Amino acid sequence: MDDAITIRGLRKAYGGRAAVDGLDLDIRTGEVFALLGPNGAGKTTTVEIAEGFRSRDAGEVRVLGTDPEGAGRSWRNQIGIVTQTSAGLDLLTPREALASTAKVYSDPRDVDEVIAAVGLADKADTRIVGLSGGQRRRLDVGLGIVGGPELIFLDEPTTGFDPQARRDFWTLIRALADQGTTILLTTHYLDEAEELADRVGVIAAGRLLVLDTPAALGGRGTSEATVTWEEDGIRRSMRTATPTAEVARLAARMPGGEVPGLTVTRPSLEDSYLTLIAPHITDDTTEVAS
């Protein structure tokens, strides 16, 4: 499969401190890729370089086959960007903001379709200054997809969304992915990464720590499971590499073969993520550039 983004030896420093330190990364065409890491890990710097909004000190970057540094309008016509915040639109309505943005692109999506997709149909003609934080975030997403891009950068896209709005947004992202759109997602919501991403990459101190599917990250798929049950009025648990066999043994000695309070769990994506980044977190960690 061709790669939508190829990064080799990427470096960027601020005041002598490396924000990105020799990063290599490939993101495949058509996949949803989640880039994870703590504050100060280098996520935002990496994404802004890929978007063409920040220069690099060293390394090679190709996005849709083009070096984003100094790329022209035809290249920008192929990408959509959802930043963490937007400003300067307060006096417009969502419909006006989307319609004016759509004019920049050669083959934009229908504005009403985008309004419906991001859940703003009942606020389409309300001035943006009167929208709630979650509604403004939905508009940000709409502005990022109205151009019908081949590649979308989503930076913390569901911040401020209520649970139902987040799930509605996930449905939208799946639909875009099903249409072949490549999506680069940064998020602090591990359930969001697990729900949406084909693969995840974890970075810390500007370097890639691991790249894998959410299900296999950090050895989740082969990690020991924790079997928990109730016996003789006591809550008991054990860690085992063979949970099915242990459950069978428990069932064999229980009246009627039923194991009271039985649960079998493996490490969550969050568990694996926190284990991976723990050695890179210090009390004096500051976000020079994330």
β-sheet bridge partners, residue 6: 26, 62
φ, ψ (nearest 5 deg) of residue 271: -60, -50
Q: What share of the chain is helix, strand, coil (3-state, %, to 5)?
A: 35, 25, 35
Q: What is the pLDDT of residue 212?
A: 93
At 173-211, the pLDDT tens digits run 888 899 899 999 998 889 999 999 999 999 999 999 999
Containing structural domain, residue 182: 3-218+273-280
- In this prediction, residue 85 has a pLDDT band, given cuts at 50, 70 and 90, of low
Label residue 85 exposed, middle or buried (CB < 10 Å: 0-12, 13-18, 19+): exposed
Q: Are 59 and 133 part of one and the same domain?
A: yes
Q: Are 89 and 185 part of one and the same domain?
A: yes
State yes or no: pLDDT of 289 exceeds 70.
Answer: no
Residue 190 falls inside a structural domain? yes
Q: Are 166 and 234 part of one and the same domain?
A: no
The listed range with the strongest mean pLDDT (10-14, 77-81, 278-282) is 10-14
State yes or no: pLDDT of 69 exceeds 70.
Answer: yes
Q: What is the pLDDT of residue 270?
A: 86
Q: What is the pLDDT of residue 287?
A: 40
Q: Are 124 and 231 part of one and the same domain?
A: no
Residue 55 falls inside a structural domain? yes
Among 3-7, 228-232, 268-272, the least confident range: 268-272
Q: What is the pLDDT of residue 94?
A: 95
Q: Are 180 and 163 part of one and the same domain?
A: yes
Q: What is the CATH number of the domain that holds 146?
A: 3.40.50.300
Q: Are 117 and 246 part of one and the same domain?
A: no
β-bridge pairing 3-14 and 17-28: antiparallel
Q: What is the pLDDT of residue 215?
A: 87
Across the chain, which distance is largest between two alpha carbons, in Å? 72
Q: What is the pLDDT of residue 282?
A: 66
State yes or no: pLDDT of 139 exceeds 80.
Answer: yes
φ, ψ (nearest 5 deg) of residue 55: -80, 160
Instruction: Say whether 28 sits in a helix, a strand or coil.
Output: strand
Q: What is the pLDDT of residue 57?
A: 96
Q: Are 184 and 247 part of one and the same domain?
A: no
At 207-242, the pLDDT tens digits run 999 999 998 887 777 778 899 999 999 999 999 988
Q: Average pLDDT in the 130-141 region?
A: 85
Round to whole Å and give the CA distance between 215 and 272: 10
Q: Are 185 and 115 in contact (CB under 8 A)?
A: no
